């Protein structure tokens, strides 16, 4: 497995690969852009590092939020399917209660 700085397992952590790639591209664009505008090497390197941090975190947090939201939705759907299988055709089946209540009211 590819580990970044010996800590971050880029292959197994969701969103890590994309965040690092976008951050790298953002740092190159920010640093090169600043250098072309000002011709100050040291300051351009500082801007590149800042660009890397901002773009990486800017990609990381929304991606992790969406990943967590998707996992919650998958868990809810899985529990719903499990309950449907468990309670189907029993007296605890909510659909059976709806059908029996609508037929008794007619």
Expressed as residue numbers, the domain containing 38 is 3-105
Number of domains present in the structure of the chain: 1
Q: Write the pLDDT tens digit of every residue in 15-64.
A: 888 898 899 999 999 999 999 999 999 999 999 999 999 999 999 999 99
Q: In the predicted model, what is the mean pLDDT of the chain?
A: 84
CB environment 24-53: b (16+ within 10 A), e (fewer): eebbeebbeebbeeeeeeeebeebbeebbe
Whole-prediction pTM: 0.68
pLDDT confidence of residue 69: 96
Residue 91 has pLDDT above 80, yes or no: no
């Amino acid at each position: 497995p590819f580990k970044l700085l010996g800590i971050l397992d880029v292959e197994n952590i969701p969103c890590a690969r994309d965040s690092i790639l976008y951050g790298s591209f953002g740092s190159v664009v920010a640093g090169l852009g600043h250098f072309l505008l000002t011709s100050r090497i040291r300051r351009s390197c500082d801007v590149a590092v800042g660009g890397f941090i901002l773009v990486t975190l800017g990609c990381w947090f929304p991606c992790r939020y969406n990943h967590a939201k998707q996992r919650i939705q998958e868990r809810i759907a899985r529990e719903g399917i499990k309950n449907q299988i468990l309670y189907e055709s029993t007296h605890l089946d909510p659909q059976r209660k709806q059908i029996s209540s609508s037929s008794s009211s007619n």
